[in-house]
Amino acid sequence: MKKLVSVLLTILSVAVGALFIYSAYTKLYTIQSFESFQYSIVEYVKLPWLLAAIGGRYLIGVEMGLGILLITHLWGKNKWVPKAAAILTIIFSIYLVYLWIYAGNDINCGCFGDAIWMSPSASLIKNAGLLIALQIITRYHNGFRNIKLAWTGAVIAIACSVVPFVLYPLPDTHPQWLQKGRFQLDMTKLYEPGKTDAPSVDLRKGKHVIAFFSLKCPHCQMAAYKMHIMKVNNPSLPFQMVIAGKDENKAEFFKKTKAENIPYTKLKGEDFTNLVGFSWPVIYLVKDGWVEAQTDYVTMSQGAIEDWLAKP
């Protein structure tokens, strides 16, 4: 019976460790997933970009290191590894509660990057299960207690915390999509050589309303439908859509939005997120290539846009 319990506890520890490693991996496996995790910290916690960049990398590295140590049973003195894993899970849970209150439950919390969409409430349930499992492991299961092995665990933990900084070095400047106030919009990718669907007008000259939409984003679809109605009412409105997403989703997007009357160009996912980040839709009021104002699908109105266009 004791052997069976020991085997089950070992399986539980390995499963928890594997989940920690997978969670870290999904945040690192593409630059989009990694930057999305950073962006959620900036957007919802309101941390400065540099602090979010450092903290995000460190948390992912710690998550990876704890996962490896849980699997290998290198738990250190006084079982600090499963205890630290529980503390990290509690920290993430506090963030999830804040995220749920601040942004609602209909968002991806980023716990598994872009690999698995998970709402804050679902992730909190997952974390509750993790905390129970870690409590059981800490109380009833023993790891390796050899002093030399303990030092090995410390080395692994430190090495893993460095990995995200090596894969994604800290940027020299914060992304353009975090700019505040008036700034020049980099539209190089919209007009790069060989692009067959480049805008038919030069968006770097004159006034334009440029909307960045993800094809599967429901709020983007609402904004596009709203723009379609405005364009019907006033065909002279200088609207331009920049879309991103899989081609098979394009037909459904235009079916829902009826926005065929608005010109559009498509960008690759990485080019799109590099330009406007990870929270959509993004709707800019642009004059001579400079973003003068920003609106959203709720506050956007035909009257306000026409008033802006009438200004010199």
Q: Which residues contact 284 (CB under 8 A, 6 or more apart)?
A: 185, 209, 210, 211, 212, 291, 293, 294
Length of the chain, please? 312
| Shared-domain flag, residues 74 and 194 | no
Among 146, 167, 188, the domain boundary falls at: 167
pLDDT band at 179 (very low <50, low <70, confident <90, very high): low
Q: How far apart (Å, rounded) are the C-alpha atoms in residues 41 and 16?
A: 24
| Shared-domain flag, residues 190 and 294 | yes
| Shared-domain flag, residues 150 and 200 | no
Range of the domain at 232: 176-310
12: which 2 tokens? 């539980």
pLDDT digits (tens, 9 = 90+) for 13-72: 999 999 999 999 988 876 666 766 777 777 677 777 778 788 888 889 999 999 999 998
Pick 151 or 280 by higher pLDDT: 280
Among 167, 195, 224, the domain boundary falls at: 167
Q: What pLDDT is stored for residue 31 in this prediction? A: 61
| Shared-domain flag, residues 149 and 187 | no
Find the mean pLDDT for residues 162-173. Answer: 81
Find the mean pLDDT for residues 89-101. Answer: 89
Q: How many C-beta atoms surround the C-beta of residue 165 within 10 A?
A: 15
| Shared-domain flag, residues 32 and 163 | yes
Q: Which residues contact 209 (CB under 8 A, 6 or more apart)?
A: 227, 237, 238, 239, 240, 283, 284, 285, 286, 305
pLDDT digits (tens, 9 = 90+) for 233-290: 999 999 999 999 888 999 999 999 999 999 999 998 878 877 887 778 899 999 999 9
Q: What pLDDT is stored for residue 165 in this prediction? A: 87
77: which 2 tokens? 């003195």
**Distances 17 to 63, 89, 121, 141 between C-alpha atoms, Å:** 9, 12, 22, 14
Find the mean pLDDT for residues 285-298. Answer: 91
Asked if residue 2 has pLDDT above 80, the reply is: no
Q: What pLDDT is stored for residue 124 in this prediction? A: 93
| Shared-domain flag, residues 216 and 141 | no
Beta bridge partners of 283: 211, 295
Beta bridge partners of 287: 207, 290
Asked if residue 151 has pLDDT above 70, the reply is: yes
Q: What pLDDT is stored for residue 182 in this prediction? A: 77
| Shared-domain flag, residues 72 and 140 | yes
Q: What pLDDT is stored for residue 178 in this prediction? A: 60
Q: Are 300 and 223 in contact (CB under 8 A)?
A: yes
| Shared-domain flag, residues 185 and 84 | no
Q: Are 275 and 189 in contact (CB under 8 A)?
A: yes
Pick 104 or 295 by higher pLDDT: 295
Q: What pLDDT is stored for residue 176 in this prediction? A: 63
| Shared-domain flag, residues 151 and 49 | yes
| Shared-domain flag, residues 119 and 253 | no
**Distances 261 to 204, 227, 235, 272, 312 between C-alpha atoms, Å:** 21, 9, 9, 22, 27
Structural domains in the chain (count): 2
Q: What pLDDT is stored for residue 173 in this prediction? A: 62
Q: What pLDDT is stored for residue 146 in this prediction? A: 55
| Shared-domain flag, residues 159 and 202 | no
**What interhelical angle do 2-28 and 49-72 show, nearest 10?**
150
Q: For the domain that residue 298 is a member of, what is the CATH number?
A: 3.40.30.10
**Distances 38 to 51, 58, 65 between C-alpha atoms, Å:** 10, 11, 19
105, 23, 155, 57 alpha-carbon torsion, rounded to 10°: -60
Among 104, 135, 167, the domain boundary falls at: 167
Place of tokens 């209909």: 106
| Shared-domain flag, residues 21 and 48 | yes
Find the mean pLDDT for residues 294-308. Answer: 91
Find the mean pLDDT for residues 97-118. Answer: 78
Q: What pLDDT is stored for residue 71 in this prediction? A: 93
